[in-house]
Amino acid sequence: MRPASRAIGPADTLLALGQSCLDRGEGGQAFAWFRSAARGGDARAINMLGRCHEHGWGVPADPVQAAAHYRKAADLGDGWAMFNLADLHCRGNGVTRDDEAAYRLYAASAAKGNAKALNMLGLLHESGRAVPADEAAARALFKAAAESGDCWGRFNHARLLIGDGAREEALRWLRLALDSGFPDFYRSMAAALAPHPDPQIQALAAEALRLAAPRKETCP
C-alpha cells in the first residue's frame, strides 16, 4: 500500500506564489508571499525569508537578519536552513566564521537528505577545515553527493577521478554534472576545466561556458 501523500496547505500555495515571483524577478512581491507563509510558522517559508535577506530579494541585503531566519527555520527542522546557515558560518557572513558549527550544520542537513551538504562535507574533509584532512572520507562524500544528483558533487568526484587517471569515468560524471547545473556552476566548471590539455575535457569546458551564457529570446 502506498503511503498517503501530504495534503497541500495554504503555506504550500503561498510558497509557490513567492517562488513564481522570484522567477520573474519580482523580489518585493516574493518577500510578501514568503512573509505571509511564515506567519503560520512554516519552516520552509522562514528559510526563504532568510534567502531574501541574504541576497537582497525585495529587501536590503542583511546577512545578520538572514542568519536569524535560517537559525529559526533550522531549529524547526528545515534541512535547507541548516545548509544555508552553515554556508554563512563558512564565510563568516552575518555570523562568526566557525568551521566546526558549519560542519555540524552540514551534517544535519545531509541527514535530511540534502546532497549539496554531502559535497560541502567532502570539501571540509579534503581541506582539513573543522576536521583533520581525510582524502578517503572526502572521496566517499563526493561520490555520495554525485550519486544523489548534486552537480558540485559530480564535478568534485570527477576531479579526483581525473587525478587518478580514470579518464572515461571522469568524463561520464562531468557530462552528468552538465545535466544538473546552473549558470554560476557552469562558469566555475568552465574555468576549472579549460586549462586541461585533454581535448574532450576542453570540449566539456566549452559546453559549460555555452550553458552559462544568457539565453536570447527568439520570436516564434
pLDDT digits (tens, 9 = 90+) for 72-105: 999 999 999 999 999 999 999 999 999 999 999 9
Distance CA 172, CA 154 (A): 9
Same-domain pairing of 27 and 104: yes
Residue reference for cell 587517471 = 165
Same-domain pairing of 41 and 96: yes
Among 48, 78, 113, the domain-final residue is 113
Distance CA 96, CA 76 (A): 22
Tell me: pLDDT of 71 over 70.
Answer: yes
Among 50, 83, 113, the domain-final residue is 113
Same-domain pairing of 136 and 52: no
**Residue 105 counted as domain residue:** yes
pTM reported for the whole predicted model: 0.91
User: Mean per-residue pLDDT for 203-218?
Assistant: 84
**Residue 3 counted as domain residue:** no
**Number of domains observed in the structure of the chain:** 2
SS in 3 state form for 80-144? HHHHHHHHHHHHCCCCCCCHHHHHHHHHHHHHCCCHHHHHHHHHHHHHCCCCCCCHHHHHHHHHH
